[in-house]
Amino acid sequence: MNFYKELELILEEKNPKDKIKTFEAFYSLFCANKLNFENGFEAKEFSEPSYSRVCRVVVPQNVPKRSNLTAKDGQINLLHAIAHIEYSAIDLALDGAYRFQNMPKEYYADWLKVADDEIRHFLSLEKLLHELDSEYGAIEVHDALFEASQRTRTLLERMAVVPRYLEANGLDATPLILTKLTKLPKSAMVQKIINALTIILEEEVDHVKKGDAWFNYACQIDGVSQDVYFEIIDKYYPQGFLRPKNINVGARKEAGFTCKELNFISKKEVCV
């Protein structure tokens, strides 16, 4: 079985349950070294995200707000938004393994492990949605993460944009959500959401760290300084670092960010 062709089939699968089931079988074969890597495979350009038949895609500003987290609707909106990020991240990790050939096997092992983690995260959030009598696809979503995968076509840009920018932003955002949740009146559902997000935050640090390692690898291959990171982000997200922000210094540092980078992003000295 061809590694890239099997990944292509998984990426094209529209049904979440079938995608996850097919990936699990594929991942077992990969771990058992039963897949072949035939160089010269031509990767496809995907015209729409795999969830387009499950979710209604709207512009980001039209996605329902995550307000009033003590109410059922607010909890559903929050869980659905994060579940969508995790589901999108499954395809991002798979596409990272699918699109870039002739890489060390450790590269493919890393991104398939990330996909496996994202699936577990998605399923944990989907379970909570079911407990609230909802499901993935019930709320409108945006396709910003899919667009990021379409626009970044080199290994260097993909590693800079997806793990080191988009996922790293999640390291900053999740603690703020957790802080809001811990201030709410105690309830079984609020505690379940806190538990799920805490696990996701801890494991996302490793995902960003993997991205950092392969970003540095791409810099070496391309013969460029790691400072190119800010040029890449400015190219795709011109407003990305213009405003100072409160960042998760500890998590970002653990994931590979340098003090120079952290101070630049924060617009003040947060790391020495």
Tokens found for residue 90: 């499954």
* 108, 159, 207, 226 from 214: Cα distances, Å: 11, 7, 11, 11
Residue-wise pLDDT tens for the chain (272 aa)?
899 999 999 999 999 999 999 999 999 999 999 999 987 889 999 999 999 999 999 999 899 887 889 999 999 999 999 999 999 999 999 999 999 999 999 999 999 999 999 999 999 999 999 999 999 999 999 999 999 999 999 999 999 999 999 999 999 999 999 999 999 999 999 999 999 999 999 999 999 999 999 999 999 999 999 999 999 999 999 988 888 788 999 999 999 999 999 999 999 999 98
pLDDT of residue 256: 97
The whole-model pTM stands at 0.96
How far apart are alpha carbons 160 and 154 in whole angstroms? 10
pLDDT of residue 183: 95
pLDDT of residue 240: 87
How far apart are alpha carbons 79 and 242 in whole angstroms? 29
How far apart are alpha carbons 153 and 143 in whole angstroms? 17
Q: Where are the domains of the chain?
A: 3-266
Fold held by 3-266: Ferritin (1.20.1260)
Question: CB-side exposure of 251: number of CA atoms within 13 Å?
Answer: 23
DSSP string, 40-66: T--PPPPSS-TTTTTS-B--GGGSPP-
By the 10 Å C-beta count (0-12 exposed, 13-18 middle, 19+ buried), 45 is classed as exposed
- Kindly tell me the sign of the dihedral angle through the C-alpha atoms of 105, 106, 111, 113: positive
pLDDT of residue 86: 98
CA end-to-end span of the chain: 50
pLDDT of residue 243: 82
Instruction: Check if the beta carbon of residue 25 is closer than 8 Å to that of residue 9.
Output: no
How far apart are alpha carbons 82 and 255 in whole angstroms? 21
